[in-house]
Amino acid sequence: MKLEQGVLYSKSHEWVKEDGDCLLIGLTDYAQSELGDLVFVNLPEQGDEIALGEAFADVESVKAVSDVYAPVSGIVAEINEELLDAPEQINESPYGSWLIKVKDVSEKEELLSGEEYEAFVESEQ
Amino acid sequence: MEQKTPLYDAHVKAGGKMVPFAGFVLPIQYETGVIKEHMAVRTQAGLFDVSHMGEVLCEGKDALANLQKLLTNDFTNMKDGQARYSPMCNEEGGTVDDLIVYKKCDDHYLIVVNASNREKDYAWMRKHQFGEVIFTDVSDHYAQLALQGPGAMEILRRITPEESIPAKYYHAVFDGEVDGIPCIVSKTGYTGEDGVELYVRSADAERLWNLLLETGREEGLIPCGLGARDTLRMEAAMPLYGQEMTDEITPLETGLGFAVKMAKDDFVGKEALEKAGEPSRNRVGLKVVGRGIIREHQALSAADGKVIGETTSGTHCPFLGYPIAMGLVEAQYAEAGTKLTAEVRGRKIEAEVVALPFYKRRK
């Protein structure tokens, strides 16, 4: 499982990275490898509100659909439109493929460091 | 507790992602991933462990008469070594299972059934048997490997004597061998590609598996999991028991009329099928024209919003490059070109009825 410098992790397998006043949210390397080849991504729209702990997007592999949960509450400032036509980028470069950029963050779950996340994944297996 | 196939260790060693399926632990995919495995079978070759499939012997003086009564297809004109696909119906015309019957010789048949139905089928056969016949569940003695893809026969030929290779599709050599390993070599499959299914003693399974992979390495042969098996059969529009067929769906609704011989004297379910007449619902193929993927059990509605059926399977097709689905819809909406809408987790996705199969290999 690959980790990335400068990001924090949620227990629902998203990564969060600061980007100016905003946060970028994506799927961890562990998440993409568990999901398998992704073939479709459904993202919210710019301006949508997302709520901590609720699904804000779904990703589909050949075999299954999975929700992506928000590790924070806030407003969607931007979505990564490139992924809509090329969801496989998430498999190829999970930490380079942010799903959404969130602004006006009002709430944040307790996020894990790389080390903590690795231990969490191991404890789940 | 799930059963391991004789190839369990080989799968784990090869990086298989093991999941429970129909009472067995099988790889859903290897590290290569479903898409690459799917493409290997369409363009080169893939090897599947399908040891979960059930095998039942049907033997005795009245074996043929029992098959004629139990199953919808006609087996009277079969030659030794021939294979024939058939649904097995209940009294209401619903589908108990779909299976393949091999004729070894007079009075000796081998029936291959779905893993998930093995016990149900065996009980059903025993319940309906008559005269001099013995049904024997021999599933635990056999492993089954499926070698599939345009390169499959070439790979097989390099290690198999010519007399062990069946001459035609849906034919089998019972006393065959592959590099000295005794097996039934059957020219059948569930991928829409050329290839064989090999029935081998469990003790020989791993040797045969490794031998085939080694022999086919240069041709790009890779091990493939259940994920690719499912996407391949969907692209080829092959129905799957539990999805396109159930105890409540008749084989005529599934579009298996070619294997239901209504002219036969009598078979279980015939009366109900006769009474029902032309099916009021049909299996259709759907090509997704909107954005998204349609899966099984999603409501399908017509242009006026009326729900007219539901999907039975659906996926993104790696080879075709777009999502497809199959579904059961009211007969008047089964025409190619009909626009339908699927309800997918609160969203509507547009789809169009298309002719089946979605994919057909070039001969």
- Residue B362 confidence (pLDDT): 80
Q: Domains in chain B, start-ordered, CATH in brackets?
A: 3-50+140-235 (3.30.1360.120), 280-354 (2.40.30.110)
Structure confidence at residue B346 (pLDDT): 86
Which of A33, A34, A59, A63 to probe by mutation at the B interface, max B CB count within 10 Å? A63
Domains and CATH numbers, chain A: 8-124 (2.40.50.100)
The whole-number pLDDT of residue A2 equals 93
- Whether A37 sits inside 8 A of B345 (CB atoms) is no
Residue B226: closest CA among chain A residues belongs to which residue?
A: A63
Residues of A in contact with B293 (CB under 8 A): 39-40, 60, 65
Q: Which residues contact B267 (CB under 8 A, 6 or more apart)?
A: B68, B69, B70, B71, B72, B89, B261
The pLDDT, as a whole number, for residue A24 is: 97
Q: Which residue ranges in chain B fall short of pLDDT 50?
A: none
Nearest C-alpha of chain B: how many angstroms from A21? 32
> pLDDT tens, B81-96?
999 999 999 999 999 9
Backbone φ and ψ for B326, nearest 5 degrees, come out as -120, 155
The complex scores an ipTM of 0.73
The model's pTM is 0.91
Q: Taking a contact as any Cβ pair under 8 Å apart, which residues of chain B between 203 and 242 contact chain A?
A: 227, 230-231
With CB atoms and an 8 Å threshold, state whether A63 touches B230: yes
| pLDDT values of chain A reduced to their tens digit, one per residue, 125 residues | 899 999 999 999 999 999 999 999 999 999 999 899 999 999 999 999 999 999 999 999 887 889 999 999 999 999 999 999 899 999 999 999 999 999 999 999 999 999 999 999 999 87
Chain B residues 298-337 within an 8 A CB cutoff of chain A: 315-316, 318, 323
At B1 the pLDDT is: 77
Amino acid at B13: K
Amino acid B77: pLDDT: 95
Chain A hits for B292, CB-CB cut-off 8 Å, are: 40, 42, 60
**Cross-chain CB nearest to B227 (options A42, A62, A91):** A62
Contact criterion met (CB < 8 Å) for A36 and B34: yes
Classify B301 as helix, strand or coil. Answer: strand
pLDDT of residue B83: 97
Q: Which residue type does A23 have?
A: L
Neighbours of B138 (CB within 10 A): 12
Window B:336-355, CB contacts with A under 8 Å: 345, 347
Structure tokens at B289: 């024209």
- Residue-level pLDDT at A65: 86
Q: Are strands A8-9 and B17-21 parallel, antiparallel or unpaired?
A: unpaired
* B38: contact with A, CB 8 A cutoff: yes
Residue that has been written with the tokens 């199959």 in this structure: B326
Token duo for residue B19:
């999941």
Instruction: Look at B34 and A60 and tell me if their CB atoms are within 8 Å.
Output: no
> Are residues B318 and A62, on separate chains, in Cβ contact within 8 Å?
yes
CB contact under 8 A, A39 and B227: no
Query: Does A40 sit within 8 Å of B316, measured CB to CB?
Result: yes
Q: Which residues contact A95 (CB under 8 A, 6 or more apart)?
A: A2, A4, A7, A15, A26, A28, A29
Distance from CA of A34 to the nearest CA of B (A): 9
pLDDT in tens, B237-295: 999 999 999 999 999 999 999 999 999 999 999 999 999 999 999 999 999 998 899 99
Answer for the pair B294, B107: CB distance below 8 angstroms, yes or no: no
Q: Which of B30, B31, B34 to mutate to test the interface with A (most CBs of A within 10 A)?
A: B34
